[in-house]
C-alpha cells in the first residue's frame, strides 16, 4: 500500500509516496542536488547504498543523515544547507544506549548475512543481524515494499528461527565481543554483546573519476538499480549505463523493463568477455539466466571497448561523450549510471583486526574464519562471486559459528563459486584509458574537492591525506581510494573508529 | 670558500624550522627523514596546531611567546586554509577556584607584555554562545592562534633552494658532524641538528645514552578527533584552565605528586591517563577535539579514552555531541623528565646538536627553537637566554656548561 505523505524540504511542503528512500523521493521531485561541496559545487547521490555520503542532509534536525538509507515519513523535515547553531541553550543530550546480548552478531543482511543468520539460528544460537539499510536483502535484493521472491524464503526462515534484526544501524566501532552500532536516522548508539561475529558487509562499486562525474544525475550503475527498485520512475528517460562488468547488463535490463531508453557502454572488449564462454559452459545453472538476460537486452544499443570520457550539464547531467572504436559519440541524456566493477567493503573487518589482502578482501579459511578468533566473514567482502556464492559462504559461516562442521558438498560448491568469480573478474580487465580520464582540474576526492593536479606529485597516501586533504571527507576514502591515482600512492590508511561516519549521537532539542 | 653545509635529521616541524633558519644565512642544508615527506610522521602529523603562549613557567612562557611572534610575522607563505589564523585562546574556568588561577595566569602574562583579557561568566556566553551557561569565567589571549603544522613543515623546507631533502630513509648512526643512513650513505657537515622527536636520545648512540642517564625522554600519548565540515560553532580555541599547566610545568613523575587540576580524574603520570577539554577551530570549518595524556607510545585509538575526551569537551561545549565526528587518531608528545625541551649541543660532542622534547608545545615553539639553534651555531647573540634548555643543564656544575656560558652575549 502506497499512501501519499507530506515531507518538508528546506521549508517547502512536498507530497510524496510512502515506502521509498528520501533520496528517491527527492529525485522523483526533481531534486538531484542534495548538498554543496566545499568549493560550492552542487552534489547529489552517487552510490545510493550508503558508502559515498554525497546524499547526506539534515533530516528531522539530525545532521549528516545519508538520505539513501532512510525512508520518508509523514511530516519529515529535510534541510539541505543547515547552518550550525552556535548556542548551548536548550541542548538536551539524548543517550538511549542499550545493550543487546546475542550469541552471534551478523553484520549485513544481504544473501551472505541472511544465510549465515538462518544457519546459526537453526542450529540453536541466538542471532542478531545488524544492517544499515532500511530493509533486509543487501544489494541484489534491495527493494521497495515487499522483498523479491528469491529473498522471501530466507527472510521467512530467519523470522521463524527467531533471528533479531537491528535494521537501520551501522556498526561503527567495537571489538569481537562488543560492537557499537549507530542509528542511521538519529545517531542513537547501542551495544551488541556477542560471542562471535559474522561479517557480511558485501561490496561497493568502484568509481573512476572523469570530467563531469561530480554532476548531479551521474550515479553508480548499481546505484541506478537501487534507485529504480526504490521507486524512481525512468519510463521514457534516456539513460547511459556505463563502466564494466555483468552488473551493467542487469541494470540495463531493469531500466529497459521500466521503460527507459538505454545505451550500454562496456569498456571491456568482446575478446576479453568471450573468455567467459568456457566457465559459463561449465556452469549449467547459469545458462538460463544468461539467456534471459540476453533476450531482454535485444534492441538495446550496446558498445563494447567503449567508455564515457565526459559528462556535461548545468546543475544536472545533460550530455555524455563516449569513446567507441568508431570514434567519439555525444549523446543527450537524462541520466548517466557508471560503475567500474565492485570492491570489497572490508572496513568493519579491518577495524576488528582481521587480515585484509592487497586487493582489500578479507582473508578467510575454508570455514570462513578470519585470523581473529570468533570472527568469521562471508560474501562479497571475501571475494566477488555473486549472490549464490554469498549464500553458500553465509551457510558455512553460520554452521561454523554454531560449532558444527559444514558438509563437504557445501564447501565444494563454495570453491566452484570462487572459480566463477575469478572468471568474471578476468573477463573485465580495466583498460589503462579509463584509469586516466581525470584531467588536472577534475575532482578526484569528491568530499574534499581535491583535484587530480593537486596530488600529481605525491608519493604517499599520508602526504595526499595530510597535505592535500585527499580522503579526509565524510566517506573517508571509500569513493576516492578506487581511483588509479590513489592506488599508485604508497602506504595504506589504517582503519580507526568511526568505521563509518554516523550522525552525531546527540541532538539539540529546542525546548519551546 | 666552500659554502658551509649543515645536516638536519628529522623533518618534523622543529627540524624543518631549523633547516629554514640555517638555509637563510646562505648555508647549504641537507634534511633527512624516514617518512615520505616533511611533517608526515611523528608529533607534527598528529598535533592540534594550537599556537599558545603558555604560562607554565617563565622560561616556557618566553619560548612560546617568541614562537608565537615568529608564527605571526615570519611564517612561510601558505594557503589561507593552512596559514596562521589568529583565533585567540579562551581559557575557561569551570568554577571560582579555577578562575582565581586564571587571574594569577593573567598577571604572569602581563609581566612579559602578553595582552589578555578577563571574561566573566555572562560575557563568556556572549563571546562564545556555544559554551555551557554555568561556567565561572575565562581569560582571553587574543593573539594566540592556529597553524596547520604538516603544511608549515613542508613550506619551511620549500622556502629555500639551499635545502636538499632525503625522504624515506632512516638515519642509523650519528657521529660528531656525521650522519650514516641505513642505506649506507654517509653525510658530513659543519654540524648535525638532530630533531627526531621521541627517538632523539636513542639515535644519538653513546652520547645519547650518557645524556639519558640525566634527562629522560618518554612518549605521552594523546587522542584527538575531528568533526565534519560545517560544524565550527566556536571562534576561539577553547581550553579548560589548568590543563596545560598540569601538562607542561611538571614531569611525568612529579605530576602525580601535585596535580593542579582538581577535576580531572587522574593525571598524565598514571596509567589511565588524564583528559581535558581543548577544542580548536579549523579554517576548514571543522573542530578538532582533544585531548588526553597517558604515558606510552601512540597505539590504535582507544574508544574509551576517546569517549572520555569527548565527554570532557561536552562539559564545556554541551552541543559538541551533536556534531558528526569524521575521524579519530593518536599521537605522541615527547616529554622530558624536567618538563623542558632539549635545545643545544649534545654534551660531549662538538658538532652535534639536539632539538627535541617539546611535549605538547612543539608547534608553538618550533620557530623560536630553530632561531635559537641557528643563533648558537652561528655564534650570534641569542634573542632568548639559551641555558634553561641546554642539554647540559643536569650537569649544572659541569665545566662544559660554565665554559659555554661565556659565549652567550
Ligand atoms: C550496488 C550493487 C548492485 C548489485 N547488483 C547486483 C545484481 O543486480 N545482480 C547480482 O547478481 N549481483 C549484484 N550485485 C552483487 C551482489 O552484491 C552480490 O551478488 C551479493 O548481493 C552479495 O551479497 P553479500 O551478502 O555479500 O553482500 P550485500 O548484499 O552487499 O550486503 C551487505 C550488507 O551489509 C550492510 N553493511 C555494510 N557495512 C555495514 C556496516 N558497517 N554496518 C551495518 N551494515 C553494513 C549493507 O547495508 C548491506 O545490506 C550488486 C552489488 C552492488 C554493490
Ligand atoms: C595529540 C597532540 C596534540 C598536540 N597539540 C599541540 C598544539 O596544539 N600546539 C603545539 O604547539 N604542539 C602540540 N603538540 C606537540 C607537537 O605536535 C610536537 O611537540 C611537535 O610536533 C614535535 O615536533 P618535532 O619536529 O620535534 O618532532 P616530530 O614531529 O615527531 O618529528 C620527528 C621527525 O623525525 C623523523 N625521524 C625519527 N627517527 C628518524 C630516523 N632514525 N631517521 C630519520 N628520520 C627520523 C620522523 O619521521 C619525524 O618526521 C601536540 C602533540 C600531540 C601528540
Ligand atoms: S571522496 Fe570521500 S573522502 Fe575522498
β-pairing verdict for A203-205 and A443-445: unpaired
The DSSP 8-state label assigned to residue A67 in this structure reads: G
From A52, A106, A108, the mutation candidate for ligand 1 (largest count of ligand atoms within 8 A of CB) is A108
Q: Whose CA is nearest to atom 41 of ligand 1?
A: A171
Answer whether A460 sits within 8 Å of B39, measured CB to CB.
Answer: no
**CB within 8 Å of chain A, chain B residues 37-56:** 37, 39-41, 45
Q: Taking phi first (over 0 means left), then psi (-120 to 50 degrees means alpha), and beta for anything else, what does residue B281 get?
A: beta
pLDDT tens digits for range B63-75: 999 999 999 999 9
Average pLDDT, stretch A205-212?
Answer: 97
Strand partners, B85: B146
Identify the weakest region by mean pLDDT among A266-280, A319-333, B62-76, B157-171: A266-280
Centre of ligand 1 to C-alpha A151, Å, is 13
Query: Same structural domain for residues A304 and A366?
Result: no
Q: What is the pLDDT of residue A405?
A: 97
Centre of ligand 1 to C-alpha B95, Å, is 53
Identify the weakest region by mean pLDDT among A150-159, A460-469, B258-267: B258-267
3-state secondary structure of A30: coil
CATH number of the domain enclosing A179: 3.50.50.60
Q: What is the pLDDT of residue A425?
A: 84
Tell whether A503 is covered by a domain: no
Name the one residue in this structure whose C-alpha cell is 575532482: A443
Which residues, 6 or more positions from A294, have their beta carbon under 8 angstroms from its beta carbon? none
Centre of ligand 1 to C-alpha A111, Å, is 8
What whole-number distance in Å separates Cα of residue A401 and Cα of residue A376?
8
Q: Which residues in chain B are closer than 8 Å to A509, comparing Cβ atoms?
A: none
Tell whether A492 is covered by a domain: no
pLDDT tens digits for range A10-68: 999 999 999 999 999 999 999 999 999 999 999 999 999 999 999 999 999 888 999 99
Centre of ligand 1 to C-alpha A90, Å, is 41
What whole-number distance in Å separates Cα of residue A410 and Cα of residue B203?
56
Q: What is the pLDDT of residue A295?
A: 81
Q: What is the pLDDT of residue A293?
A: 80
Which residues, 6 or more positions from A407, have their beta carbon under 8 angstroms from its beta carbon? none
Grid cell of A49 as nine digits: 547504498
Q: What is the pLDDT of residue B259?
A: 34
Sheet containing B191-194: give its strands across.
B163-167, B28-33, B5-9, B191-194, B352-356, B342-345
- Whether A20 and A72 have beta carbons less than 8 Å apart is answered as yes
Tell whether A92 is covered by a domain: no
Flag whether residue A139 sits within 8 Å of chain B, measured between CB atoms.
no
Query: Same structural domain for residues A174 and A116?
Result: yes
Strand partners, B9: B32, B194
Torsion of CA A223, A226, A230, A233, to 10 degrees: 60
Query: Same structural domain for residues A331 and A367?
Result: no
Is the ipTM beyond the 0.90 threshold?
yes
Q: Any idea where the domains of chain B sit in the sequence?
A: 5-46+149-215+338-395, 89-142+218-333
- Phi first, then psi: give them for residue A506, nearest 5 degrees: -125, 160
Q: How far is CA B371 from CA A281, B55, B143, B343, B345, in A?
A: 75, 21, 21, 11, 14
Q: What is the pLDDT of residue B402?
A: 44
Name the residue among B131, B322, B327 with its Cβ closest to that of A476. Answer: B327
Higher-confidence position of A304 and A297: A304
Q: Which span out of A40-44, A89-93, A289-293 was modeled with the highest average pLDDT? A: A40-44
β-pairing verdict for A301-303 and A261-266: parallel
Tell whether A215 is covered by a domain: yes
Q: Which residues in chain A are closer than 8 Å to B329, comparing Cβ atoms?
A: 496
- Work out how many domains chain A is built from and give that number: 4
Flag whether residue B76 sits within 8 Å of chain A, measured between CB atoms.
no
What whole-number distance in Å separates Cα of residue A29 and Cα of residue B277?
45
Flag whether residue B228 sits within 8 Å of chain A, measured between CB atoms.
yes
Answer whether A501 sits within 8 Å of B326, measured CB to CB.
Answer: yes
Cα–Cα nearest to A499, from A391, A387, A353 = A353
Where residue A1 falls among pLDDT bands split at 50, 70, 90?
low
Sign of CA dihedral B120, B142, B66, B344: positive
Q: What is the pLDDT of residue A331?
A: 97
Name the residue among B36, B317, B321 with its Cβ closest to that of A491. Answer: B36
pLDDT at B257 exceeding the cut of 70 = no
Quote the pTM value. 0.93
Q: Is the CB of A480 under 6 A from ligand 3?
A: yes
Q: How far is CA A61 from CA A36, A44, A181, A509, B322, in A?
A: 18, 19, 20, 9, 10
pLDDT tens digits for range A308-332: 999 999 989 999 999 999 999 999 9
What proportion of chain B, given as a percentage, has pLDDT over 70? 89
Identify the weakest region by mean pLDDT among A86-100, A226-240, A491-505, B393-407: B393-407
CATH number for the region B5-46+149-215+338-395 comes to 3.50.50.60
Q: Which ligand is nearest to the CA of A446?
A: 3
Report the run of H or E that residue A121 belongs to, with start and end.
helix A111-122
In terms of CA atoms, which chain B residue is nearest residue A489? B36
3-state secondary structure of A165: strand
B144: Cα separation from own chain's centroid: 14
Query: How much is the mean pLDDT over chain B?
Result: 90
Answer whether B233 sits within 8 Å of A85, measured CB to CB.
Answer: yes
Q: What is the pLDDT of residue A81?
A: 76
Q: What is the pLDDT of residue B250?
A: 41
CATH of B89-142+218-333, one of 3.30.9.10, 3.40.50.2300, 1.20.1260.10, 1.10.8.60: 3.30.9.10
Answer whether B233 sits within 8 Å of A469, measured CB to CB.
Answer: no
Q: What is the pLDDT of residue A493?
A: 84
What whole-number distance in Å separates Cα of residue B305 and Cα of residue B309?
6
What whole-number distance in Å separates Cα of residue B378 and Cα of residue B23?
12
Average pLDDT, stretch A487-507?
Answer: 90
pLDDT tens digits for range B95-114: 999 999 999 999 999 999 99
Greatest distance between any 2 Cα atoms in chain A? 69
pLDDT at B137 exceeding the cut of 80 = yes
pLDDT at B261 exceeding the cut of 50 = no
Sign of CA dihedral B199, B202, B208, B214: positive
Cα–Cα nearest to B35, from A196, A491, A153, A42 = A491
HEC sequence for A180-216: EEEECCCCCEEEEEEEEEEECCCEEECCCCCCCCCCC
What whole-number distance in Å separates Cα of residue B44 and Cα of residue B150?
6
What whole-number distance in Å separates Cα of residue A197 and Cα of residue A175?
10
Instruction: Indicate the burial class of B218 (C-beta count within 10 angstroms; 0-12, 13-18, 19 or more).
Output: middle
Query: Same structural domain for residues A104 and A200?
Result: yes
Instruction: Indicate the burial class of B382 (C-beta count within 10 angstroms; 0-12, 13-18, 19 or more).
Output: middle
Where residue A197 falls among pLDDT bands split at 50, 70, 90?
very high
What proportion of chain A, given as a percentage, has pLDDT over 90? 80
Query: Same structural domain for residues A197 and A273?
Result: no
Query: Same structural domain for residues A109 and A192?
Result: yes
**CB within 8 Å of chain B, chain A residues 48-87:** 63-64, 82-87
Grid cell of B42 as nine digits: 611523528
Report the run of H or E that residue A103 belongs to, with start and end.
strand A99-107
pLDDT tens digits for range B357-377: 999 999 999 999 999 999 999
Q: What is the pLDDT of residue B246?
A: 52
Tell whether A508 is covered by a domain: no
Q: Which span out of A387-396, A422-431, B248-257 was modeled with the highest average pLDDT? A: A387-396
Tell whether A432 is covered by a domain: no
Q: Name the minimum distance, in Å, from the CA of B391 to any CA of chain A.
A: 32
Q: How far is CA B307 from CA A495, B41, B221, B243, in A?
A: 18, 25, 15, 18
Q: What is the pLDDT of residue B397?
A: 54
What whole-number distance in Å separates Cα of residue A482 and Cα of residue A444?
10
Which of A87, A109, A132 marks a domain boundary? A87
Angle CA(B149)–CA(B150)–CA(B156) in degrees, nearest 5? 80
3-state secondary structure of A359: coil
pLDDT at B245 exceeding the cut of 70 = no
Flag whether residue A352 sits within 8 Å of chain B, measured between CB atoms.
no
Q: How far is CA A467 from CA A461, B82, B118, in A?
A: 10, 9, 37
Grid cell of B46 as nine digits: 598528529
Report the run of H or E that residue A174 belongs to, with start and end.
strand A169-175
Grid cell of B124 as nine digits: 563568556
Q: Which residues in chain A are closer than 8 Å to B233, comparing Cβ atoms?
A: 84-86
User: Domain limits at A52?
Assistant: 4-87
3-state secondary structure of A311: strand
Query: Same structural domain for residues A268 and A360?
Result: no
Q: What is the pLDDT of residue A284?
A: 76
Q: What is the pLDDT of residue A277?
A: 74
Where residue B1 falls among pLDDT bands split at 50, 70, 90?
low
Query: How much is the mean pLDDT over chain A?
Result: 93
**Selected residue of B321, B322, B325, B329 to mutate for chain A interface (largest A Cβ count, 10 A):** B322
Q: What is the pLDDT of residue B244?
A: 54
Query: Same structural domain for residues A213 and A316?
Result: yes
Amino acid at each position: 500500500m502506497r499512501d501519499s505523505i507530506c515531507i518538508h524540504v528546506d521549508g517547502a511542503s512536498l507530497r510524496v509516496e510512502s515506502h521509498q528512500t528520501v533520496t528517491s523521493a527527492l529525485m522523483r521531485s526533481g531534486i538531484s542536488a542534495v548538498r554543496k561541496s566545499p568549493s560550492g559545487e552542487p552534489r547529489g547521490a552517487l552510490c545510493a547504498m550508503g558508502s559515498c555520503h554525497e546524499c547526506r542532509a539534515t533530516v528531522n534536525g539530525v545532521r549528516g543523515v545519508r538520505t539513501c538509507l532512510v525512508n520518508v515519513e509523514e511530516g519529515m523535515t529535510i534541510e539541505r544547507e543547515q547552518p550550525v547553531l552556535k548556542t548551548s541553550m536548550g541542548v538536551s543530550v539524548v543517550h538511549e544506549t542499550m545493550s543487546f546480548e546475542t550469541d552471534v552478531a551478523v553484520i549485513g543482511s544481504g544473501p551472505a548475512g541472511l544465510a549465515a543468520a538462518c544457519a546459526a539460528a537453526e542450529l540453536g544460537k541466538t542471532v542478531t543481524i545488524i544492517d544499515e539499510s532500511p530493509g533486509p536483502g543487501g544489494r541484489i535484493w534491495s527493494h521497495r515494499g515487499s522483498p523479491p521472491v528469491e529473498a522471501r524464503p530466507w527472510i521467512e526462515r530467519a523470522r521463524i528461527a527467531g533471528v533479531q534484526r537491528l535494521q537501520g544501524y551501522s556498526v561503527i566501532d567495537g571489538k569481537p565481543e562488543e560492537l557499537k552500532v549507530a542509528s542511521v536516522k538519529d545517531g542513537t548508539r547501542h551495544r551488541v554483546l556477542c560471542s562471535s561475529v559474522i561479517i557480511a558487509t558485501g561490496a561497493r562499486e568502484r568509481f573512476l573519476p572523469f570530467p563531469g562525474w561530480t554532476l548531479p544525475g551521474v550515479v553508480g550503475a548499481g546505484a541506478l538499480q537501487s534507485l529504480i527498485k526504490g521507486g524512481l520512475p525512468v519510463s521514457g528517460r534516456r539513460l547511459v549505463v556505463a563502466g564494466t562488468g555483468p552488473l551493467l547488463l542487469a541494470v540495463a535490463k531493469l531500466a529497459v523493463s521500466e521503460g527507459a531508453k538505454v545505451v550500454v557502454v562496456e569498456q571491456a572488449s568482446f575478446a576479453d568477455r568471450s573468455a567467459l564462454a568456457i566457465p559459463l559452459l561449465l556452469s549449467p545453472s547459469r545458462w538460463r539466466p544468461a539467456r534471459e538476460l540476453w533476450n531482454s537486452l535485444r534492441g538495446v544499443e550496446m558498445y563494447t571497448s567503449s567508455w564515457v570520457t565526459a559528462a556535461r550539464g548545468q546543475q544536472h547531467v545533460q550530455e555524455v561523450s563516449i569513446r567507441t572504436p568508431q570514434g567519439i559519440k555525444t549523446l543527450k541524456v537524462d541520466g548517466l549510471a557508471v560503475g567500474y566493477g565492485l570492491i570489497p567493503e572490508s572496513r568493519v573487518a579491518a577495524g576488528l583486526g582481521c587480515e585484509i589482502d592487497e586487493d582489500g578482501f578479507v582473508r578467510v579459511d575454508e570455514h570462513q574464519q578470519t585470523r581473529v578468533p570468533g570472527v568469521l566473514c562471508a560474501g562479497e567482502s571475501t571475494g566477488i562471486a555473486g549472490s549464490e556464492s554469498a549464500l553458500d559462504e553465509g551457510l558455512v559461516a553460520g554452521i561454523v559459528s554454531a560449532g558444527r562442521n559444514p558438509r563437504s558438498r557445501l564447501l565444494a560448491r563454495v570453491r566452484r563459486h570462487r572459480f566463477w568469480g575469478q572468471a568474471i573478474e578476468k573477463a573485465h580487465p580495466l583498460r589503462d584509458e579509463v584509469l586516466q580520464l581525470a584531467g588536472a582540474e577534475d575532482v578526484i576526492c569528491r568530499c574534499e574537492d581535491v583535484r587530480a593536479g593537486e596530488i600529481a606529485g605525491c608519493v604517499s597516501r599520508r602526504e595526499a591525506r595530510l597535505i592535500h586533504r585527499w580522503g579526509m571527507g565524510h566517506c573517508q576514502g571509500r569513493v576516492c581510494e578506487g581511483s588509479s591515482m590513489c592506488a599508485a600512492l604508497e602506504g595504506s590508511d589504517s582503519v580507526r573508529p568511526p568505521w563509518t561516519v554516523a550522525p552525531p549521537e546527540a541532538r539539540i532539542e529546542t525546548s519551546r | 670558500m666552500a659554502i658551509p653545509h649543515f645536516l638536519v635529521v628529522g623533518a618534523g616541524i622543529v627540524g624543518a624550522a631549523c633547516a629554514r633558519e640555517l638555509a637563510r644565512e646562505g648555508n647549504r642544508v641537507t634534511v633527512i627523514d624516514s617518512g615520505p615527506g616533511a611533517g608526515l610522521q611523528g608529533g607534527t602529523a598528529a598535533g592540534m596546531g594550537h599556537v599558545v603562549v603558555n604560562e607554565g613557567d617563565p622560561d616556557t612562557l618566553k619560548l612560546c611567546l617568541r614562537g608565537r611572534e615568529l608564527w605571526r610575522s615570519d611564517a612561510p607563505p601558505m594557503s589561507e586554509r593552512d596559514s596562521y589564523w589568529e583565533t585567540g585562546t579562551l581559557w575557561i574556568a569551570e568554577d571560582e577556584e579555577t578562575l582565581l588561577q586564571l587571574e594569577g595566569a593573567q598577571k604572569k602574562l602581563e609581566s612579559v607584555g602578553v595582552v589578555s583579557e578577563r571574561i566573566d561568566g555572562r560575557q563568556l556566553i556572549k563571546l562564545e554562545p556555544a559554551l555551557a551557561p554555568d561556567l565561572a569565567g575565562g581569560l582571553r589571549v587574543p593573539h594566540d592562534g592556529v597553524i596547520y603544522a604538516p603544511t608549515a613543515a613542508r613550506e619551511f623546507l620549500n622556502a629555500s633552494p639551499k635545502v636538499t631533502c632525503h625522504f624515506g630513509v632512516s638515519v642509523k648512526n650519528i657521529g660528531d658532524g656525521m650522519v650514516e643512513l641505513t642505506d649506507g650513505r654517509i653525510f658530513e657537515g659543519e654540524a648535525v641538528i638532530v630533531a627526531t622527536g621521541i627517538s632523539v636520545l636513542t639515535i644519538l648512540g653513546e652520547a645519547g645514552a650518557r645524556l639519558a642517564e640525566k634527562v629522560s625522554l618518554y612518549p605521552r600519548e594523546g587522542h584527538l578527533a575531528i568533526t565534519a565540515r560545517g560544524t565550527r560553532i566556536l571562534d576561539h580555541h577553547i581550553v579548560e584552565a589548568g590543563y596545560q599547566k598540569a601538562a607542561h610545568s611538571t614531569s611525568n613523575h612529579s605530576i602525580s605528586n601535585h596535580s593542579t587540576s582538581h577535576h580531572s580524574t587522574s593525571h598524565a603520570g598514571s596509567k589511565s591517563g588524564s583528559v581535558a577539554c581543548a577544542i580548536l577551530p579549523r579554517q576548514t570549518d571543522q573542530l578538532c577535539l582533544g585531548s588526553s595524556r597517558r604515558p606510552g607510545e601512540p597505539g590504535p585509538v582507544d574508544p574509551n579514552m576517546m569517549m572520555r575526551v569527548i565527554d570532557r569537551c561536552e562539559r564545556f561545549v554541551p552541543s559538541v555531541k551533536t556534531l558528526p565526528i569524521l575521524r579519530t587518531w593518536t599521537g605522541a608528545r615527547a616529554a622530558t623528565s624536567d618538563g623542558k625541551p632539549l635545545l643545544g649541543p649534545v654534551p660531549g660532542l662538538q658538532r652535534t646538536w639536539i632539538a627535541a622534547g617539546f611535549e605538547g608545545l612543539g608547534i608553538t615553539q618550533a620557530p623560536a627553537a630553530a632561531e635559537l639553534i641557528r643563533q648558537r651555531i652561528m655564534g650570534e647573540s641569542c634573542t632568548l637566554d639559551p641555558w634553561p634548555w641546554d642539554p647540559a643543564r643536569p650537569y649544572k656544575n659541569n665545566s662544559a656548561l660554565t665554559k659555554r656560558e661565556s659565549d652567550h652575549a
